[in-house]
């Protein structure tokens, strides 16, 4: 009986070690299954597509944008203000901007649907808008591309496909192989317009330089009412070069000195008159501020086109076109020719609304046969 009572104790002693071994095996198996794979084993996870975070950059107009790389960061509704010594110089606003950096001396911003506000010394803004822009942060050099519209504080507007802004000297620039045009209504109601290839605008003195293929037009509105009003007409001037002083509203026209002498003439056209000269200056301001709205100098030739039956033309060293009295005053050895008649004098005045020729100190008169 005592031996039979001890048998169950031996059975229990065998069961407990077996349970313990099973638990240890399960724990070891669980650790092996959950442990990370070795570095030498291939990864099964896929890389994240960067386009899910950064939209694809597709410049249409701007050149040399590093589209083969992901920008450092991008900003929607981007605004950037540039100031120097506490004075704001310009502000750039865009729908979206992308930043690229190749080090502290090579930082580039590419922006889409941009408006730039360029401030002069009087804090007045010239506003330039375009489809795209490229800004070099180190050089502080801004380029604007695509449907560029430039609006000056006085309302004059220019159109081009490309524009540069140099912040160091506050200069707007279009290369002389790219077309540019402009139009605006001036003080007194005159409308001025131009087209050319290339443009340089210095904001500090409000001076526009047109370097090539200049076609300038001024349309004057008015009626001749005594001595204080002008007459309605239009004047077009074609030249190689033009400098427009916006502050005093005077445009200076010249020709390329490399041209052959026979073709080195500024051409002036009006509805009833054609003139040519080596140089010309146009005052496009209000009538009450000018005596002569156009002055032609050096080898001047004038042809009146109003009456084909009685052609009148003149030569002189200088011709002043009088706004108020609708006359042309000839100086520096003037001569007037009509039919076979010739008149010379110190000063000759052509009254454009009549056939009167007024001569001061007549030197000679020749009547043809």
Question: pLDDT tens digit string along 47-99?
Answer: 545 545 555 777 888 888 888 888 888 899 999 888 777 778 889 999 999 99
Residue 205: Cβ within 10 Å count: 10
pLDDT of 66 reads: 84
CA separation for the pair 129, 120 (Å, rounded): 17
CA separation for the pair 95, 326 (Å, rounded): 53
Q: Lowest-pLDDT range, 16-20, 99-103, 314-318? A: 16-20
pLDDT of 323 reads: 72
pLDDT of 34 reads: 33
Phi, psi torsion values for 156, nearest 5 degrees: -65, 140
Average per-residue pLDDT for the chain: 80
The CATH number of domain 174-369 is 2.60.450.10:
yes
Residue 187: Cβ within 10 Å count: 13
CA separation for the pair 112, 82 (Å, rounded): 18
CA separation for the pair 215, 317 (Å, rounded): 23
Q: Which residue has the higher pLDDT, 59 or 314?
A: 314
**261, 293 Cβ separation under 8 angstroms:** no
Q: Where does 56-168 sit in CATH, by number?
A: 2.60.450.10
**Selection from 116-120, 227-231, 264-268 with the highest mean pLDDT:** 264-268
CA separation for the pair 30, 199 (Å, rounded): 78
Q: Lowest-pLDDT range, 18-27, 92-101, 324-333? A: 18-27
Q: Which residue has the higher pLDDT, 233 or 36?
A: 233
- Please determine, for residue 226, whether its predicted confidence score (pLDDT) is greater than 80: no
Domain ranges of the chain: 56-168, 174-369
| Residue 369, token pair as written in the block | 């046969």
Q: What is the mean pLDDT of residues 159-175?
A: 92
Q: What is the mean pLDDT of residues 142-158?
A: 93
Q: Taking Cα atoms as reference points, which of 280, 345, 339, 337 lies closest to residue 314?
A: 337
Q: Taking Cα atoms as reference points, which of 242, 243, 249 lies closest to residue 290?
A: 249
pLDDT of 107 reads: 85
pLDDT of 368 reads: 56
Residue 16: Cβ within 10 Å count: 9
**336, 342 Cβ separation under 8 angstroms:** yes
CA separation for the pair 259, 194 (Å, rounded): 22
pLDDT exceeding 70 applies to what percent of the chain?
A: 75
Report angle CA 179, 181, 187 to the nearest 5 degrees: 160
- Please determine, for residue 37, whether its predicted confidence score (pLDDT) is greater than 50: no
pLDDT of 28 reads: 36
Q: Taking Cα atoms as reference points, which of 219, 184, 180 lies closest to residue 200?
A: 180
pLDDT of 228 reads: 45
Q: What is the mean pLDDT of residues 234-242?
A: 95
Q: Lowest-pLDDT range, 34-38, 233-237, 335-339? A: 34-38
CA separation for the pair 245, 241 (Å, rounded): 14
pLDDT of 67 reads: 82
Q: What is the mean pLDDT of residues 135-142?
A: 83
| Residue 129, token pair as written in the block | 């808008």
Q: Lowest-pLDDT range, 32-36, 62-66, 82-86, 185-189? A: 32-36
What distance lies between CA 175 and its chain's CA centroid? 10
- Please determine, for residue 187, whether its predicted confidence score (pLDDT) is greater than 60: yes
Fold identical between 56-168 and 174-369?
Answer: yes
Q: How confident is the model at residue 33 (pLDDT cuts 50, 70, 90)?
A: very low
Over the chain, what HEC string results? CHHHHHHHHHHHHHHHHHHHHHHHHHHHHHHHHHCCCCCCCCCCCCCCCHHHCCCCCCCCCCCCCCCCCCCCEEEEEEEEEEEECCEEEEEEEEEEEEEEECCCCCEEEEEEEEEEEEECCCCCEEEEEEEEEEEECCCCEEEEEEEEEEECCCCCEEEEEEEEEECCCCEEEEEEEEEEEEEEECCCCCEEEEEEEEEEEECCCCEEEECEEEEEEEEECCCCCCCCCCCCEEEEEEECEEEEECCCCEEEEECCCCCCHHHCCEEEEECCEEEEECEEEEECCCHHHCCEEEEEEEEEEEEECCCCCCCEEEEEEEEEEECCCCEEEEECCCEEEECCEEEEEEEEEEECCCCCEEEEEEEEEECCC
pLDDT of 29 reads: 37
pLDDT of 365 reads: 61
CA separation for the pair 204, 201 (Å, rounded): 9
> For strand 233-239 and strand 107-119, is the pairing parallel, antiparallel, or unpaired?
unpaired
CA separation for the pair 329, 332 (Å, rounded): 10
**Selection from 32-36, 56-60, 203-207 with the highest mean pLDDT:** 203-207
pLDDT of 310 reads: 60
CA separation for the pair 95, 289 (Å, rounded): 45
pLDDT tens by residue, 279-309: 999 988 765 555 568 999 999 999 988 666 6
């Amino acid at each position: 009986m005592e031996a039979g009572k001890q048998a169950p104790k031996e059975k229990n002693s065998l069961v407990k070690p077996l349970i313990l071994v099973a638990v240890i095996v399960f724990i070891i198996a669980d650790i092996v299954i959950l442990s990370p794979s070795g570095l030498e084993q291939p990864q099964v996870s896929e890389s994240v597509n960067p386009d899910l975070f950064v939209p694809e950059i597709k410049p249409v107009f701007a050149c040399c944008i590093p589209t083969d790389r992901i920008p450092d960061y991008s900003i929607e509704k981007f605004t950037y203000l540039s100031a120097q010594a506490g004075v704001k110089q310009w502000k750039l606003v865009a729908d979206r901007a992308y930043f690229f950096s190749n080090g502290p001396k090579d930082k580039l911003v590419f922006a889409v649907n941009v408006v730039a506000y360029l401030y002069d010394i009087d804090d007045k803004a010239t506003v330039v808008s375009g489809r795209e822009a490229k800004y070099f942060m180190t050089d502080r050099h801004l380029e604007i591309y695509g449907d560029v519209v430039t609006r000056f504080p006085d309302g004059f507007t220019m159109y081009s496909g490309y524009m540069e802004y140099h912040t160091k000297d506050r200069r707007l620039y279009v290369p002389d192989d790219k077309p540019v045009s402009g139009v605006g209504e001036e003080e007194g109601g005159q409308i001025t317009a131009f087209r050319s290839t290339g443009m340089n605008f210095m904001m500090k003195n409000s001076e526009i330089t047109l370097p090539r293929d200049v076609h300038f037009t001024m349309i004057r509105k008015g009626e001749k009412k005594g001595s204080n009003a002008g007459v309605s007409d239009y004047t077009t001037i074609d030249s190689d070069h033009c400098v427009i002083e916006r502050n005093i509203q005077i445009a200076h026209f010249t020709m390329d000195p490399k041209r052959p002498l026979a073709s080195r003439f500024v051409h002036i056209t009006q509805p009833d008159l054609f003139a040519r000269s080596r140089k010309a200056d146009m005052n496009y301001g209000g009538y009450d501020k000018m005596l002569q709205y156009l002055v032609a100098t050096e080898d001047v030739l004038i042809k009146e086109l109003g009456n084909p039956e009685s052609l009148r033309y003149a030569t002189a060293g200088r011709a002043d076109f009088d706004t108020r009295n609708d006359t042309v005053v000839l100086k520096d050895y003037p001569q007037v020719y009509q039919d076979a008649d010739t008149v010379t004098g110190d000063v000759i005045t052509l009254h454009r609304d009549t056939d009167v020729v007024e001569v001061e100190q007549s030197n000679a008169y020749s009547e043809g046969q």
